[in-house]
Amino acid sequence: MKDFCCEYMDYHANFKCDIHENPYDCPDKIIIFDEKSNEYGIIIHDGGSSQIEINFCPWCGAKF
Ligand SMILES: [Zn+2]
Ligand SMILES: [Zn+2]
């Protein structure tokens, strides 16, 4: 398993909801981490599958 920059990112990147199979459907899921491209994104809950790519951790400021 990947080591994330801080416990907050670790929690949110690994967060899995029991109710919503699709992370884009879950209002509690805010960070999406793509292991293949090693990219982080913030999910925009607009009913689709939008996300904003982020280059810094919003909690600790670490650069990805
Ligand atoms: Zn962090
Ligand atoms: Zn959910």
- From the list 55, 17, 61, 62, the residue with the least C-alpha distance to 38 is 55
Per-residue model confidence (pLDDT) at position 11: 97
The bound ligand whose nearest atom lies closest to the alpha carbon of 3 is 1
12 — pLDDT class (breaks 50, 70, 90):
very high
The bound ligand whose nearest atom lies closest to the alpha carbon of 21 is 2
The bound ligand whose nearest atom lies closest to the alpha carbon of 12 is 1
pLDDT per residue as tens digits for the range 23-41: 999 999 999 999 999 999 9
Geometric angle at alpha carbon 34, from 18 and 45, rounded to 5°: 55
Distances (CA, A) of 1 to 4, 9, 13, 14, 16: 9, 13, 11, 10, 15
Ligand 2 centroid, distance to 33 Cα (angstroms): 17
